[in-house]
Amino acid sequence: MNILIDLFAILVLLMVIYLLGRPIVRGAIYFPTSHVQVDLMIRMASLKRGDVMADLGSGDGRMIIACARQGIRAEGYEINPLLVFLSRRDIRRAGLQDLATVRWKSLWRADLAPYDAVFVYGIPYIMDGLRRKLERELRPGAKVISNAFPFPDWAPLATENKIYLYSIGPKSETVAAA
């Protein structure tokens, strides 16, 4: 019996290491954006109904739920299965299944081509790699909104309360949109 308890404890420990460790290695740890910042990010992105946005590392889904409430098609990528479960539950509770989706998938494996805007709350050591992925995959004119951390080598179109707004320019040149 004791050996079963030990094995269970080891299993739980491994799961905790996996859930906490993977985001640290492949992205950022979970730290939710405040609702004030969520509203600011959406306002700065100035999206309209029918636009499609992605939140890379969507946490508890608050960003995609807030976008979907405004008629924006919102897709989250999240590697923590617990957060995927909670955000899917909240999407259902809000009746937003037609507009909001969460994928249990690494942001590094997401195809970003369809998105009009990409929201990011990362960590400094992923920003350069992420910048290259965004430049490669997003179409010119697509917007990138970053919470807390600016992208190296990109000039923001606007900055407010540590939110940085960018627009993808032609030929990988990222410029301020009009």
Residues of this chain that interact with ligand SAM (CB under 6 A) are: 23, 26-28, 30-33, 55, 57-59, 62-63, 77-80, 83, 106-108, 121
Q: Shortest approach of ligand SAM to residue 2 CB, angstroms?
A: 34
Q: Shortest approach of ligand SAM to residue 163 CB, angstroms?
A: 11
Which CB atom, from 42 or from 99, has the smaller least distance to ligand SAM? Answer: 42
Residue with tokens 């910048």: 131
Which residue's C-beta sits nearest to ligand SAM? 27
Which CB atom, from 31 or from 125, has the smaller least distance to ligand SAM? Answer: 31
Q: Shortest approach of ligand SAM to residue 37 CB, angstroms?
A: 8
Q: Shortest approach of ligand SAM to residue 162 CB, angstroms?
A: 13
